[in-house]
Amino acid sequence: MASRTLDNKGHTDLFARAMKSFTSGDFRKARMLFEEASAGPVLSINESARMYTRMCDQRLKNEKVELKTPEEHYDYAVKLINERRLAEAVGHLKSALQGRSPGGHVHYAMSLALGLQGDIAGAHRHLKQAIELDPQTRSLARGDADFQDLLQDATLRDLVFPDRIT
């Protein structure tokens, strides 16, 4: 990812800046700098930078997230679904569903997370609710690559394609 050619001094300086960010707790910035420093001319710095990149990844993975609103829980759950951390996503979606009037998008995300976990009955229940709240959810499910495997189930397929003759 090195966007520029580094000499030995520039490489050492870059690693030093990455270490400063790391020790101050700015793991996102540190990770970016370590990744760049992993491809410079000083081989010992390259290896150390790769090691610190992995350490940043671990700290970012374990980072505590402060979520206050149902929408924040929903947004974070979508991120977790994309990372296939489904059990965690379901927990956050439950929090999002506790909001005053959760939209169809929250039920759709819950349907996807539950379905990917193998809970087809739960996926069906939430997909049905999502479609009742927003009929456009059918189109979303039809075009969502993550949802395609779930459409192998006849009960879900019938919700998404209600006019299809089988």
Query: Could you tell me the maximum CA-CA distance found in the chain, to the nearest angstrom?
Result: 70
* pLDDT reported for residue 4: 62
* pLDDT reported for residue 138: 95
Instruction: Check if the beta carbon of residue 113 is closer than 8 Å to that of residue 88.
Output: no
Flag whether pLDDT at 2 surpasses 60: no
Q: What is the pTM of this model?
A: 0.63
* pLDDT reported for residue 66: 81
- β strands within the chain, DSSP E: none
Flag whether pLDDT at 161 surpasses 60: yes
Per-residue pLDDT tens digits for 90-131: 999 999 999 788 899 999 999 999 999 999 999 999 999 999
* pLDDT reported for residue 5: 76
Exposure class string for 45-62: b at 16+ Cβ within 10 A, else e: bbebbeebbeebeeeeee
Residue 3: which pLDDT band, with cuts at 50, 70 and 90?
A: very low
